[in-house]
């Protein structure tokens, strides 16, 4: 499940990604996008706020959240609301499913096909995105419970 679904990008490539979506590449936007592309743990927006401030940039929570909203609106990252409290972000845009552990709150990528092209019931519909989240316990948290 540690399969790499995207390659890390250099600064110029990140700028191009933003400019292609008509987003001005500010240092904060570049940092958030680079961070999301570099890890596969689907950080929550709280985690990203902490990461940005720990990295020396001091930004308000609202600025970080608004920037993430903007990136999501433009389709560069996907918001994943797994429960009422946690809004995670995913930079892997290739369709995939997730496993969510209720013990450690971990979120793993699952390379499950979410191909809607061959679902006869969707004839005439225009699907834009699909989401599958399997909830349960990861092997670590499920030890001795199975």
Residues of this chain that bind Zn ion (CB under 5 A):
90, 92, 101, 103-104, 106, 109, 138, 141
Nearer to Zn ion, 4 or 62 (CB): 4
Nearer to Zn ion, 25 or 95 (CB): 95
Q: Give min distance, CB of 80 to Zn ion, in A.
A: 7
Asked whether 61 and 41 are in contact (CB, 8 A), the reply is: no
Q: Give min distance, CB of 78 to Zn ion, in A.
A: 8
Q: Give min distance, CB of 144 to Zn ion, in A.
A: 13
- Find, among 47, 89, 98, 51, the residue nearest to 71 by Cα: 89
Q: Which residues contact 116 (CB under 8 A, 6 or more apart)?
A: 122, 127, 130
Structure tokens at 31: 């940092």
């Amino acid at each position: 499940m540690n399969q790499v679904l995207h390659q890390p990008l250099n600064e110029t490539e990140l700028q191009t990604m933003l400019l292609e979506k008509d987003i001005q590449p500010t240092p904060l936007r570049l940092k958030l996008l680079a961070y999301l592309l570099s890890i596969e743990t689907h950080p929550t927006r709280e985690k990203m706020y902490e990461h940005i401030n720990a990295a020396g940039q001091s930004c308000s929570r609202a600025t970080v959240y608004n920037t993430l909203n903007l990136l999501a609106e433009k389709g560069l990252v996907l918001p994943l609301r797994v429960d009422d409290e946690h809004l995670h972000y995913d930079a892997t845009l290739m369709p995939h499913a997730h496993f969510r552990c209720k013990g450690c709150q971990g979120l793993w990528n699952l390379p499950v096909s979410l191909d809607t092209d061959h679902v006869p019931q969707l004839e005439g519909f225009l699907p834009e995105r699909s989401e599958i989240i399997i909830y349960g316990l990861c092997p670590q948290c499920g030890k001795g419970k199975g």
